[in-house]
């Protein structure tokens, strides 16, 4: 799967770079704000269907799910990769927040940066740094690692999961769109790089 892992790293790097460039401004770009409003104002009944997959981006739940997949697949390399992915997720967040330090006043949670943002759920922060989405980094990285060892081509359907987490994080008002695309890019880089190392 070297070609797939290398593709993940390259595509992820491009998505991450584009997200960083797009988010490096004095204001939230108008196109990004428009996308945020469209997603954030989707019907309320979507909350539960999006909340469920969003939990895969939670540090404890996502890690446990990755380790369970490793156990079911009988792949100790996947278990190692999941643990390393969790550590690299924390590092990636810190590095990207440091890189975006001049823009952190702008890249705040939508409760601060997006007028009229709808915040859903009792645990959505109203303020604080928002770039990148750690939930999306984790779920994308763990998905890459698990897909790498699944037999057949159907495993790529698992990439619906990071996309649902991205959609959900914007929908509940936890992140702006470039926050979640940055998370996707960083997660693909982490997961692809781990696949290359453990191949």
Per-residue pLDDT of 51-90, as tens digits, reads: 999 999 999 999 999 999 999 989 899 999 999 999 999 9
Q: Does residue 18 lie within any of the structural domains? A: no
Look at residue 39 and tell me if it is in a domain.
Answer: no
Res 52: pLDDT: 92
Q: Is residue 124 part of a domain?
A: yes
- Rounded to the nearest 10°, the torsion over CA 91, 97, 99, 105 is 180
How many of the other CB atoms lie within 10 Å of CB of 48? 8
Per the structure, how many domains does the chain have? 1
Determine, yes or no, domain membership for 8. no
Report residue 111's pLDDT band, with 50, 70 and 90 as the boundaries.
very high
In a domain, 131, yes or no: yes
pLDDT confidence tier of residue 4, bands split at 50, 70 and 90: confident
In angstroms, how far apart are the furthest CA atoms of the chain?
A: 49
pTM above 0.85, yes or no: yes
Residue 144 domain flag: yes
The domain in which residue 94 lies consists of: 49-198
Q: Name, in order, each residue with C-beta under 8 angstroms of 147's C-beta and a sequence gap of 6 or more.
A: 155, 156, 158, 159
């Amino acid at each position: 799967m070297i070609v797939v892992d290398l593709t993940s790293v390259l595509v992820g790097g491009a998505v991450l770079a584009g997200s960083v460039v797009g988010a490096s401004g004095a204001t939230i770009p108008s196109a990004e704000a428009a996308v945020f409003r469209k997603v954030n104002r989707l019907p309320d009944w979507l909350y539960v269907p999006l909340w469920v997959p969003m939990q895969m981006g939670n540090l404890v739940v996502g890690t446990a799910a990755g380790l369970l997949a490793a156990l079911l697949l009988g792949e100790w390399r996947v278990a190692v990769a999941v643990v390393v992915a969790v550590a690299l997720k924390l590092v990636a967040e810190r590095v990207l927040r440091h890189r975006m330090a001049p823009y952190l006043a702008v890249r705040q949670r939508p409760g601060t940066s997006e007028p009229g943002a709808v915040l859903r759920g009792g645990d959505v922060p109203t303020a604080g740094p928002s770039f990148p989405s750690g939930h999306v980094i984790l779920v994308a990285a763990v998905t890459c690692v698990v897909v790498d060892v699944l037999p057949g081509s159907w495993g790529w359907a698992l990439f619906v999961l990071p996309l649902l987490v991205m959609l959900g994080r914007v929908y509940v008002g936890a992140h702006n769109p470039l926050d979640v695309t940055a998370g996707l890019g960083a997660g693909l880089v982490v997961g692809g790089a781990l696949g290359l190392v453990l191949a």
